[in-house]
C-alpha cells in the first residue's frame, strides 16, 4: 500500500477530529493512549492479581513456618530454603524430575519430527494419518492416565496379555520399578502434538529452496540436514523450551496412581516427581511454608533452564526473519 495514500487518509482523520470540539478536548494521541490502557486493563489486572500477587504471597509464606491452619505463624527467614537442601526426598524428587524431562522431551520432539516428515510426504490419505496420530494429544490428561492404568493393569491389562501370548511372564507395571516406563509411554502417546507443530514448521519452508537443492544434486538426507533442520530450528527450540517447562512441573504420576491431591504421598517412588512432593507437602503434611519455598525453587529452576536453553541455542538456531512481536 502506498504511503502517500495513507498519509492523506491520516490527515483527513486528524482534520475530522479537530473539527469536532465536542469529542476532542484532548490531543488524539492522549485519548488513544487512555483507550489503550482501557483495552489492556483486564489482562494487566489479571496478571497482577492472579500471577504477581500469588507469587509474592508464596514468597512471603516461604519465609514462615505456616501450616495453613493455626493463625500464629513465625517468620523463619530462609530456613525453609536451607531445609530443602538437607531433605533427601526433595532432592531426589528434583533429580527424578530432571531425568523425566531429559528423557521425555527429546524423545517426544524426535518422534514428532519424524512423524511430521512422514505425513508431509505426498501419499494418499495423509490428512487421515495426521488426524489419527494427533488424536491422543487431545485426549484429556485424566482420560489418558485412566486408559494407561487399564492397559498396564496386572491381570486385566493388554500389556500383560500381549506378553502372555508371546510366552513371557506377566509384569506388575504400576508399581516400582516399572511404573516409570508407563509414565514415559503415557507422555510419548501425546507426541502427535509435537508432530503438528513440526508439520506447521515444515510447511512454512519455501518449496523453491528444496527444489533448488535437488537441481544442484543434493541427496534427500543432505537437503534435510542442511535446509530443513536449520529452517526448522526455531520451531524445535520452541518445543524444547515449552517441553522443559511443562515436564518440570508435571504431576502426571498423580493421575496414574491415586488420582487425588491428598493421595500424592502414595505415588510410587519411581514416579515421585517434584510437583508430587509439593502436593504431598501442602495437602498431606500441611507444611505450607516449606512447600511454598519448594514452589519458588521450582520457579527459579525453570527460569534458569529456560535462559540456559536460549543462551546455548543462540548460535545454533537460525532465524530467516527477526522474531515477530518484538519489533513493531
Partner 1 sequence: MTRTYRWALSLVLLAVVLVMISPILWLVSSSLKSSADMASFPPTWWPSQPRFENYTEAITSVNFLGAAQNSLTIAFISTTLTTLSSAWVGFGFARLTAPGKKQLFVVLLATMMLPGIVTLVPTYLIFAKLHMVNTYWPWVAWGLGGSAFLIFLFRQFFAGIPREMEEAAIIDGCGYVGIFWRIFLPQSWPVIAASVILSFTHAWGDFVGPAMFLSQDSTTLAVAMATGYVNDKGLPMNNLVAAGAVMYVLPVLILFLFMQRRFVSGFSTSGIK
Q: Which is nearer to partner 1, 4 or 123 (CB)?
A: 123
Q: Is residue 298 part of the contact set for partner 1 (CB under 8 A)?
A: yes
Q: Is residue 229 part of the contact set for partner 1 (CB under 8 A)?
A: no
- DSSP one-letter string for 228-296: IHHHHHHHHHHHHHHHHHHHHT--HHHHHTT-SGGGGGGS-GGG--HHHHHHIIIIIS--HHHHHHHHH
Enter the DSSP assignment of 216. T
Q: Is residue 290 part of the contact set for partner 1 (CB under 8 A)?
A: no
Q: Which is nearer to partner 1, 61 or 76 (CB)?
A: 61
Q: Which of 76, 182, 248, 273 binds partner 1 (CB under 8 A)?
A: 248
- Map the footprint of partner 1 across residues 40-69, applying CB under 8 A: 40, 42-47, 49-51, 53-55, 57-58, 61, 68
Q: Which residues contact 284 (CB under 8 A, 6 or more apart)?
A: 262, 264, 265
Cβ–Cβ under 8 Å, residues 148 and 217: no
Q: Which stretch binds partner 1 (CB under 8 A): 76-84, 95-103, 209-217, 248-256?
A: 248-256
Q: Which residues contact 84 (CB under 8 A, 6 or more apart)?
A: 90, 91, 290, 293, 294, 297
Q: Is residue 302 part of the contact set for partner 1 (CB under 8 A)?
A: yes
- DSSP one-letter string for 305-328: HHHHHHHHHTTT---SSPPTTT--
- Map the footprint of partner 1 across residues 86-145, applying CB under 8 A: 115, 118-119, 121-124, 129-136, 138-145
- Map the footprint of partner 1 across residues 1-40, applying CB under 8 A: 1, 6, 9-10, 12-13, 16-17, 20, 23, 29, 32-40
C-alpha cell at 109: 520432539
Q: Which is nearer to partner 1, 132 or 312 (CB)?
A: 132
Q: Is residue 192 part of the contact set for partner 1 (CB under 8 A)?
A: yes
C-alpha cell at 63: 519465609
Q: Which is nearer to partner 1, 155 or 208 (CB)?
A: 155
How many angstroms separate the CA atoms of 112 and 153, rounded? 28
Q: Which is nearer to partner 1, 76 or 119 (CB)?
A: 119
SS3 category, 75:
strand
Q: Is residue 170 part of the contact set for partner 1 (CB under 8 A)?
A: yes
How many angstroms separate the CA atoms of 58 and 278, rounded? 13
Q: Which stretch binds partner 1 (CB under 8 A): 88-96, 173-181, 207-215, 316-324?
A: 316-324
Q: Which is nearer to partner 1, 76 or 151 (CB)?
A: 151
Amino acid at each position: 500500500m502506498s504511503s502517500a495514500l495513507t498519509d492523506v487518509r491520516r490527515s483527513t482523520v486528524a482534520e475530522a477530529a479537530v473539527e469536532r470540539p465536542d469529542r476532542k478536548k484532548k490531543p488524539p494521541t492522549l485519548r488513544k493512549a487512555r483507550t489503550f490502557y482501557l483495552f489492556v486493563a483486564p489482562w494487566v489486572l489479571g496478571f497482577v492479581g492472579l500471577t504477581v500477587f500469588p507469587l509474592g504471597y508464596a514468597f512471603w509464606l516461604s519465609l514462615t513456618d505456616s501450616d495453613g491452619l493455626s493463625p500464629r505463624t513465625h517468620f523463619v527467614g530462609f530456613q525453609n530454603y536451607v531445609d530443602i537442601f538437607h531433605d533427601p526426598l526433595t532432592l531426589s524428587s528434583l533429580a527424578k524430575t530432571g531425568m523425566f524431562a531429559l528423557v521425555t522431551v527429546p524423545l517426544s520432539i524426535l518422534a514428532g519430527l519424524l512423524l511430521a516428515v512422514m505425513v508431509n510426504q505426498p501419499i494418499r490419505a495423509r490428512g487421515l494419518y495426521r488426524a489419527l496420530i494427533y488424536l491422543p494429544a487431545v485426549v484429556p490428561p485424566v482420560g489418558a492416565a485412566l486408559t494407561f492404568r487399564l492397559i498396564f493393569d496386572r491381570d486385566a491389562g493388554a500389556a500383560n496379555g500381549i506378553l502372555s501370548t508371546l510366552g513371557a511372564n506377566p509384569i506388575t507395571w504400576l508399581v516400582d520399578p516399572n511404573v516409570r516406563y508407563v509414565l514415559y509411554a503415557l507422555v510419548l502417546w501425546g507426541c502427535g502434538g509435537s508432530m503438528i507443530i513440526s508439520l506447521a514448521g515444515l510447511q512454512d519452508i519455501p518449496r523453491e529452496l528444496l527444489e533448488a537443492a535437488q537441481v544442484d544434486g543434493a541427496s534427500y538426507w543432505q537437503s534435510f540436514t542442511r535446509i530443513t533442520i536449520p529452517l526448522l530450528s526455531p520451531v524445535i527450540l520452541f518445543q524444547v523450551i515449552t517441553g522443559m517447562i511443562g515436564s518440570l512441573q508435571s504431576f502426571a504420576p498423580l493421575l496414574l496412581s491415586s488420582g487425588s491431591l491428598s493421595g500424592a504421598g502414595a505415588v510410587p517412588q519411581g514416579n515421585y516427581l517434584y510437583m508430587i512432593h509439593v502436593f504431598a507437602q501442602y495437602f498431606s503434611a500441611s507444611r505450607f511454608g516449606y512447600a511454598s519455598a519448594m514452589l519458588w525453587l521450582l520457579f527459579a529452576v525453570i527460569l534458569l533452564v529456560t535462559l540456559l536453553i536460549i543462551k546455548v541455542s543462540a548460535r545454533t538456531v537460525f532465524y530467516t526473519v527477526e522474531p515477530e512481536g518484538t519489533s513493531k
